[in-house]
Chain A
Amino acid sequence: MVKVERITKTFDSRRKKVVAVDSLSFFAEPKSIYGLLGPNGAGKTTTLRIISTLLKPDSGKTSVMGFDCVARPTEVRKRIGFLTSDMKLSGNLTPKELLRFYGELSHMRDTDISKRTKELSEYLDMNNFLDKRIGKLSTGMKQKAAIAVSLVHDPEVIIFDEPTNGLDILTARTVTDFLKDYRDQGKTIIISTHIMSVAEKLCNRVGIIFKGRLVEDDTLEGLYEKFGEDTLEDVFFKIADREGVIEIA
């Protein structure tokens, strides 16, 4: 499980402070997908990076499986798989070699890496390109390899920044199928997205962020009921209007 309690994060930008995340709190539990939904620049990536120990909050507290992200980063890193659609795997190594590399970085034993490589290549249908150079693979194959890399140490929590951003329909389907499957296996999953359909398809619970603030945190059904709408997009625009981000004619 992941617990985020009143975290705030500011950045210095051209002699002024920009509040990227403002007193944000939420809770993500096992066997569920929590979606952070918001426009670009809302603070989704910063929040995920704080949970992943890549950034430290100015105030507030974040914990993964009970381990504080600032005080016990190594314990947290053991338990999370971090993935971003920005990651462009490239180079001359094969998926198999990359899995070994990331397995070694996770201090796994050789036999465990081999076993896990076999499991993941079968699960993600990677057997036919496991020994091909990453640079020669298609976007879909690369995405599968990236997913495998983040899962090699079998993490309890999966954090995925914009999982389907920039992917074609087939590759996006691979990603959403994997997320659903891992949720059903009992993992805690947190994603960020600005695509409503992705959130509707995947998320059990959604947190809507505007300008670093979490303005709604509920199940999809709860949000539909509260705002009297039957699509997340309509709910989102009503909230945006309420928050003064946009004006609906």
Chain B
Amino acid sequence: MLRDALIIFRKELKNIFKDARTLFAVLILPMLIMPVIFLVMNTVSTSQTRTYENTVYKLKIVNLPDERFLSFLDQMISFEIEENLSEESVRSQENSIIVEFPADAAERVRGGEKIDARLFYNSTSKGSSYGAQIVQNALSSYSSLLLSEKLIEHGLTLEDLNLVTVEKRDVAPEESQGTELLATLIPYFLLIYIFAGSMNIGLDTTAGEKERGSMPVLLVNQVSRSSIAAGKILYVMTIAILNSIFTFIGLIIAFKVGGPAFGGGELNFSSLSFTTLFGLFITLMTMSGLAASLVVLLGSLARNMKEGSGYVMPIYIMAIVLGVATMQMESPDNPLLYLIPFMNSIFVMKDIITASFVVSRFSLMLVSNLVYVALFIYFLTRVFNSEKIMESSGA
């Protein structure tokens, strides 16, 4: 049986590896797409920040209490004073901000009293919002200066106000520190890409084969139907695994490219040791086998690609929902949850990435997934042995 299954597997693989476009879509694109998205986002974000930093903001300061506030502003932002600014002009012009102090602000500051400042900006203008944030920072610094002066009069400093100092110590194992983001994102992306990788290929090799009329010719051969089913699953599973591995590589590159702006700085890539990667690979294998056998089964029940897509799409959407729902969840202790397909793999992957590997959870996931795959193969063989597999055109 295995020999015959490998004939089918080799043929399908050869067919796909000879098509540069499919190869690009299945292998190269998943590796490039995330780094490119992150790179573009990073570049745009950096360039926008640079633009805002280099912008000369129009500023109107009403009732300036103290020249020192202007020197704080001067250190943080380029600006020119525009006395004619009004609320209306802030609304209609880019990069305009009004800071309004009370009429007796200077007097109150001198007397060490509290003052209220009002900031007028346009939240729909990114430039105005950015400028307002900087002005707020300058106000904060100015406030600290006034407070510090007041404290000195009483023989105190700002530091004296911190009566409790906090020192945080992370007692998690070194290898699991900084892995939270990886544990959140990697299982989600792998699940999505396993399905994305399986869907088109799995439907093409089943419902597509029916549509092209080549299924009867394949079935009128000396290989058993179970060999044909196994060969097709093996092929779809291989592509799904390759797809998800390349996605994984793409994600790692993306985080490196994205840098601290997208959480890259908080990531602990050293947690991805050989053992971790091996554990992830085994989990990935069973999850791919599950997705591949499910897609091939549904594709075999369909009469054409369109019908097949209708069968598979709800499962794909469920996988996305499952991925999102479990993103922020910690791996639960309830062993029954490790019998739920796909969810079990997500939790085990989280365990592996955060160096919290639990043998019993991993074993439950492995065994249950293998049982599901065996069940799907059993049903698939039944479909291949039944006349259902011929349902594409009438008598």
Contact = CB atoms under 8 A, between A and B. Distances in A.
Given A77-B222, A92-B19, A149 B14 contact: no
Contacts of A43: 395
Contacts of B216: 49, 52, 54, 82, 84, 87
B220 A80 contact: yes
A54 B219 contact: yes
B7 A89 contact: no
B393 interface: yes
A87 B18 contact: no
A30 B92 CA distance: 92
Interface in B1-18: 4, 7-8, 11, 14-16, 18
B387 interface: yes
A211 B15 CA distance: 41
B214 A92 contact: no
A56 B395 contact: no
Interface in B219-266: 219-223
A168 interface: no
Interface in B341-395: 387, 390, 393-395
B169 interface: no
Nearest to A87: B213
B212 interface: yes
Nearest to A134: B15
A102 B216 CA distance: 13
A41 B394 CA distance: 8
Nearest to A46: B395
Given A54-B390, A56-B387, A86-B393, A102 B212 contact: no
B356 to A, nearest CB: 45
B171 interface: no
A54 B225 CA distance: 11
A55 B394 CA distance: 13
Contacts of A146: 217
B206 to A, nearest CB: 15
Contact of A107 (B8, B217, B222, B390): B222
A84 B214 CA distance: 9
A87 B212 contact: yes
- Which secondary structure characterizes the binding site on chain A? mixed
Contact of A93 (B18, B219, B220, B394): B18
B341 to A, nearest CB: 32
A106 to B, nearest CB: 6
B10 to A, nearest CB: 8
* Interface residue range, chain B: 20 to 34
Contact of B214 (A20, A74, A87, A107): A87
Interface string B12-32: 001110110000000000000
Contacts, number: 83
Contact of A77 (B7, B221, B387): B221
A87 B392 CA distance: 12
A197 interface: no
Contacts of A86: 213, 393
Interface string A72-94: 00100110101110111111110
A133 B223 contact: no
A43 B14 CA distance: 37
Given A90-B212, A92-B19, A105-B7, A150 B217 contact: yes
Contacts of A54: 216, 219-220, 387, 390
A80 B393 CA distance: 22
A106 B11 contact: no
B7 A78 contact: no
Nearest to A108: B222
A91 to B, nearest CB: 5
Given A11-B395, A82-B217, A92 B222 contact: no
A88 B216 CA distance: 12
A92 to B, nearest CB: 4
Contacts of B390: 49, 54-55
Interface string A137-149: 0000000001001
A217 B366 CA distance: 60
Contacts of A89: 212, 214
In the complex, which of the residues A41, A78, A102, A149 has the most CB atoms of chain B within 10 Å of its own CB atom? A102
Contact of A105 (B15, B18, B223, B395): B223
Contacts of B220: 52-54, 77, 80, 82
Nearest to A107: B222
Contacts of B7: 101, 104-105
Nearest to B223: A105
A117 interface: no
A172 B379 CA distance: 40
A92 B15 contact: yes
Given A86-B393, A87-B214, A105-B4, A93 B14 contact: yes
Contacts of B8: 105
A88 B222 contact: no
Nearest to A45: B395
A97 B213 contact: no
A90 B305 CA distance: 15
Contacts of A11: 395
A105 B216 CA distance: 14
Most chain A CB neighbours (cut-off 10 Å) among B15, B19, B218? B15
Interface string B172-198: 000000000000000000000000000
8 contacts: A9-B395, A78-B222, A87-B214, A92-B18, A93-B14, A101-B7, A102-B221, A105-B7
Which 5 A-B residue pairs are closest in the complex by CB-CB distance? A86-B213, A92-B18, A46-B395, A87-B213, A82-B220
Interface of B: 4, 7-8, 11, 14-16, 18-19, 212-214, 216-223, 387, 390, 393-395
